Amino acid sequence: MERSAAETFDLILMELQMPEMDGWEATLRILERDRGAGRLAPIIALTAHAMSHVEKECLALGMESVVVKQFDPAQLSAAVEAAASGRTRESLSGAQLPG
């Protein structure tokens, strides 16, 4: 998170489960800070939890899409391309997520 304050990124890949601050909290802080500065890098969530409520929470928070691990490189590439082209809020996990 500190790095995104010091540098400008075109895209952020956000792991949801991290030891000190989870990806949801880090995303909230980044979005709050960057909205005020007039810059918003798309954030793509990376998670091992292939459940629809996780995806819904990520999208509601402001992340662009969710990629479920173990992902095929093509899935990550599709998510990055969608974020770069402005196609946002799409589920690009390639998996049918259970409720």
Q: Which domain holds residue 49?
A: 2-85
Q: Is residue 90 part of a domain?
A: no
Whether 79 is in a domain gets the answer: yes
Residues 52, 60: Cα–Cα separation, whole Å: 12
pLDDT at 14: 92
Residue 25 contacts by C-beta under 8 Å, 6 or more apart in sequence? none
pLDDT digits (tens, 9 = 90+) for 74-99: 888 888 888 888 755 443 444 433 34
Q: Can you give the CATH number for the domain in which 74 is found?
A: 3.40.50.2300
> Quick one: CA dihedral 25, 30, 35, 39, positive or negative?
negative
pLDDT level of residue 35 (50, 70, 90 thresholds): confident
Number of domains present in the structure of the chain: 1
Position with higher pLDDT, 3 vs 80:
80
